[in-house]
Amino acid sequence: MVMKTRTITFIILLCSFPVFCFAQKNNLKDRKDLQNLLQERKTKFDSYTSSLEKRSGIFGNKTKKDILASNEVLINIVETDNLIISTLYRVVDLRNLETSNTKFDAAIQNQNYDNLLHATDTLSKQVNLLTVSNKNYKSKASKFEWLFYAMSALVVWMLLVRWRKKT
């Protein structure tokens, strides 16, 4: 039972190791992408601000082209914001995965602790039973030891008696 649990735990950890390595690499890549996207958004927002100030029409008015250019820059900013949000979702999902893996690891450690505690209790009970049976065997052995000495003395006495009768 314990061996089966350890084997299953080892297989799960072995299978999830590449996922953790891949997740670490993706986490760093996502952070770098996020920084690049934020920098790109800043430059786009600066160009949007400058396009709002641009007035190429007669008497300093805005033309339709100026407004369309401003709208196009604004659409680019929204697309960049969407990329930033999707990258943030990936990072948050990865954090949630790491958190759940940490909880899973803690559960495995608690299960291993409980299994070890159960094994320790079982072994302690076995040691106590073996100690009691060892004491019983020692007391029986001492009784048989006295019996052996008594029988040996009896045999020696009988041999001496027989030897004296022959002589």
> Is 164 a member of any domain?
no
CA 115 – CA 119 distance, rounded (Å): 6
pLDDT digit string, tens, across residues 4-42: 555 555 555 555 545 444 455 667 788 888 888 888 888
- Count up the domains in the chain and report the number: 1
Residue 62 phi/psi, 5° resolution?
-85, 140
Q: Which three-class secondary structure state does DSSP give residue 56? A: coil
Distance (Å, rounded) from C-alpha 166 to C-alpha 31?
A: 110
Q: Does residue 126 fall inside a structural domain?
A: yes
Q: Is residue 148 part of a domain?
A: no
Q: Give the residue numbers spanning the domain of 8.
A: 2-141
Residue 146 lies in a domain: no
| Amino acid type, 118 | H
Residue 152 inside a domain? The answer is: no
Contacts made by residues 36-40, CB under 8 angstroms, sequence distance 24+:
37/80, 37/83, 37/84, 37/87, 38/84, 40/80
DSSP state of 61: P
pLDDT given at position 151: 92
Phi, psi of 166 (to 5 degrees): -75, -30
The pLDDT of residue 164 is: 86
Q: How much is the mean pLDDT over the chain?
A: 79
Condensed to tens digits (0 to 9), the pLDDT of residues 79-111 reads 988 888 888 888 777 777 667 666 677 777 888
In a domain, 24, yes or no: yes
Distance CA 76, CA 61 (A): 24
The predicted pLDDT at position 9 comes to 52
Percent of the chain at pLDDT above 70?
76
Does the residue 149 lie in any domain? no
pLDDT of residue 3: 56
- Using pLDDT thresholds of 50, 70 and 90, give the confidence band for residue 59: low
Domain-embedded: residue 27: yes
